[in-house]
Amino acid sequence: MIEFPVRRLGLGEPGDADLTRSIAIEAPVSVEVGGIGYAVMMATPADLEDYAVGFALGEGLVETADQIGRIDAHPIEGGWALRIWLPPERNAIALERARKRVSESSCGLCGIENIEEVLRPLPAVTARIRVDRSAIAAALAALRDHQPLGRATGAVHAAAFCSPAGAILLAREDVGRHNALDKLIGAMARAGVDPATGFILLSARCSYELVEKTVRAGCPMLVTISAPTSLAAERAAAAGLTLVALARTDSALVIGDPHRMIA
């Protein structure tokens, strides 16, 4: 983050003042795979190695983190370069995917050639956990303690992996909710944390991409503090993902719990 001069303007109460405010960094990150330009994402340039692993897993470029040969991340003029090196057989997959991606955005749709590709079937969720409602409340109450950048700037999303008892085991932050989840999934893969053993908590609106990333990671349950879109709810139901939305410390909305994992 950076420190930025601002002027407080009193509206409902008096108190104009010149202040210094912490602001989250948003920068273009050029993702290259095997030396080929793959995407340019707007992201917070922290934990970029975690992001690279989560991005590669989410894009289907690799099936496991150990298939990545090397990751290079360094600043360049105007932004950051994130270079992912894969073995030849995985590079072929990346090249074919890159050929279709004329451009890229955080929505994840640019460059996809048809609707059928967007709505391709997700793998079925096979993991099972048991989560008491008090565990969801505990994770929500603890989330702020794992958001140092969010507390300082008020401008970033957080993604956290929680045990069935509600303890937050890992958390990552980014200006983009998709990026925060990619960073979390990458951090889990690098640390050897199995996504099937707990649930993911997001400080974000539940879009369909977040559902898909959670399912493809093999996590059985997703909790978000904001509401889902219709496609997110439908995709979660089709994959058998337990989805909880509008989660607050006093209540939450169970969108779907096909395996009765929540007590």
Q: Which residues are catalytic?
A: 107
- Which string of DSSP letters, residue by residue, matches 48-81? HHHHHHHHHHHTTS-SSGGG--EEEEEEETTEEE
Q: Answer positive or negative: Cα dihedral of 35, 103, 68, 29.
A: positive
Phi and psi angles of residue 213, each rounded to the nearest 5 degrees, phi first? -65, -40
Contact call for residues 32 and 83 (beta carbons, < 8 A): yes
Structure token pair of residue 212: 């898909």
Q: What share of the chain is helix, strand, coil (3-state, %, to 5)?
A: 35, 30, 35
Angle, helices 177-191 vs 48-58, to 10°: value is 100
Contact call for residues 194 and 187 (beta carbons, < 8 A): no
Phi and psi angles of residue 92, each rounded to the nearest 5 degrees, phi first? -60, -40
Residue with tokens 């400080």: 203
